[in-house]
Copies of this chain bind each other. A is one copy, B any other.
Amino acid sequence: MKLAIDAMGGDNAPKEIVLGVNKAIKAFLDIEVTLFGKEQEINKYLEKSSRVKVVHTDDVIEGTDEPVRAVRRKKNASMVLMAQAVAEGKADACISAGNTGALMAAGLFIVGRIDGIERPALAPTLPTIDGQGFVMLDLGANADAKPEHLLQYAIMGSIYAEKVRGIKKPRIGLLNIGTEAKKGNDLTKKAYELLSEADLHFVGNIEARELLEGPADVIVTDGFTGNMVLKSIEGTAGSLFSLLKKVFMANLKSKLAAGLMKNELKGLKNMMDYTEYGGAGLFGLNSPVIKAHGSSNANALYNAVRQAREMTSHQVTTIIKKTIQKETKMK
């Protein structure tokens, strides 16, 4: 299996990207990796292996670049070359921790959409307090969505949860402002009907309040709401952790308490650790495209490789294609 990886994407590139690849190459003997980026910098960290090669390029898409323009103009950027390797069949899947918008544009323009999928969706696995996590989509690939898009998100999420996460009959939930069937805005009311009629294990509306408790294996929502909710959760957790830190540093007594609880507090932070769950899949494209978190460390990148590998070996893209074709014919 061949993976194309953007070595220059994210806050800790290329070091942590390359360290993650080193780890993955040792763990997964069936993968071959092509790294795209500045060869000299990559080689500082890369452990020699016959299963890794480097394609040199000086061009990089920055986090501040306007996504669509960057993908169109920086034709030799590491991310663009990575996507082209997939489009040309030289790689089965690709991973980047770089500019999210640019990766979505590269996915759409270079890797291409699956026939019948109207909108690709950004689908990370989010942590829950029981450690199981859940897949949520769309988290921002498209700001506006129609009810039919939410149905397609549910189908793709269900296939991913079953094949990659090993969940039989994944529970599909619709993010909404109340649990009753008639609750919501125009979009969620109509999506509720479509999901109820579909061949899915639909468990109904899920309120944002319950998300971290893990009420479903796949949660669908429009990209605007999904992005809002994700950032609300991140922002609240961040604010509370920084408050907590301040409280622990307040005086001698609290510092003593912090010392006593060091391990437990670390456990608390690990429980909410995104790096264990891999990256966010861009579902609905012709091949697996994984967006690793911008602040990915080696472990996060390693888990993104694992995820790309499982999406490829379980033929998630092929199954999505077939299911969507069947769905489209039925109409």
A residues contacting B by CB (< 8 A) are 129, 140, 143-144, 175, 177, 184-186, 188, 207-213, 222-225, 227-229, 231-240, 242-244, 247-248, 250-251, 253-254, 256-258, 260-261, 264-265, 267-268, 271
Judging by beta carbons under 8 Å apart, are A265 and B247 in contact? Answer: yes
Query: What residues on B are CB-neighbors of A223 within 8 Å?
Result: 177
User: Given contacts A185-B224, A243-B271, is CB(A232)–CB(B209) below 8 Å?
Assistant: yes
Query: What residues on B are CB-neighbors of A237 within 8 Å?
Result: 236, 240
CB distance from A166 to the nearest CB of B (A): 25
Judging by beta carbons under 8 Å apart, are A240 and B239 in contact? Answer: no
Cα-based distance from A211 to B229 in the complex (angstroms): 12
Cα-based distance from A159 to B177 in the complex (angstroms): 28
Complex A-B: 27 CB contacts under 8 Å = A140-B177, A143-B177, A143-B184, A143-B185, A143-B186, A208-B227, A208-B228, A208-B235, A209-B232, A209-B234, A211-B232, A212-B236, A213-B235, A224-B225, A229-B232, A233-B236, A236-B236, A237-B240, A243-B271, A244-B244, A244-B268, A247-B267, A248-B261, A253-B260, A256-B260, A257-B258, A260-B260
Describe A's contact surface by its main secondary structure.
Answer: helix
Name A236's closest neighbour in chain B (CB-CB). B236
Query: What residues on B are CB-neighbors of A227 within 8 Å?
Result: 177, 208
Name A140's closest neighbour in chain B (CB-CB). B177
Name A213's closest neighbour in chain B (CB-CB). B239
Query: What residues on B are CB-neighbors of A244 within 8 Å?
Result: 244, 268
Cα-based distance from A26 to B213 in the complex (angstroms): 43
Cα-based distance from A265 to B243 in the complex (angstroms): 10
Query: What residues on B are CB-neighbors of A235 within 8 Å?
Result: 207-213, 233
Cα-based distance from A303 to B284 in the complex (angstroms): 51
Cα-based distance from A232 to B175 in the complex (angstroms): 11
Query: What residues on B are CB-neighbors of A177 within 8 Å?
Result: 140, 143, 223-224, 227-228, 231
CB distance from A179 to the nearest CB of B (A): 12
Name A211's closest neighbour in chain B (CB-CB). B235
CB distance from A44 to the nearest CB of B (A): 34
Cα-based distance from A81 to B267 in the complex (angstroms): 53
Query: What residues on B are CB-neighbors of A209 within 8 Å?
Result: 231-232, 234-235, 238
CB distance from A188 to the nearest CB of B (A): 8
Judging by beta carbons under 8 Å apart, are B186 and A208 in contact? Answer: no
Cα-based distance from A222 to B186 in the complex (angstroms): 13
